[in-house]
Amino acid sequence: MDKSEMPEWAVAYLAHADEEGYVPFNHDRRLGQNQYASRAVNGRLGDPNLGEGLRWKGLDKSCYHSILVHQDDLVEYHRRYIEFRDKVSRGEWQWR
């Protein structure tokens, strides 16, 4: 995604990109606390796998603060998570 196409909130993440273009998946806590938002990255603890098909780093580490998403996939993960969070708040999601 070209920088000019990114939402303003996402552009701020680019300052934290590593040499391969990976950024913290929830740097400004838009998705709430990282410990909860990270569970949907790969479907842990009954959350759906919202990170499928996106590029990630740090999933093999035990600390959710180490999770990075590729800058081109950042906006898509946020969209998916916010949609999921809205479904939960409307009672449209049932945990296993």
Confirm whether 94 is domain-assigned.
Answer: no
The predicted pLDDT at position 8 comes to 92
pLDDT means per 10 residues, the chain with 96 residues, are: 84 95 95 92 89 94 90 96 92 76
Helix, strand, or coil (residue 36)? helix
95 domain residue, yes or no: no
Exposure letters 61-91 (e unless 16+ CB within 10 A, then b): eeebeebbbbbebbbbbbebbeebbeeeeee
Bridge partners of 57? Answer: 68
Domain that holds residue 61: 3-89
Instruction: Tell me how many domains the chain contains.
Output: 1
pLDDT of residue 73: 97
Determine the pLDDT at residue 96. Answer: 58
The answer, as to whether pTM is greater than 0.75, is: yes
Q: Identify the pLDDT of residue 47.
A: 86
Residue 21 domain-assigned (yes or no): yes
Q: How far apart are CA 72 and CA 1, in angstroms?
A: 5
Is 48 a domain residue?
yes
Q: How far apart are CA 71 and CA 14, in angstroms?
A: 7
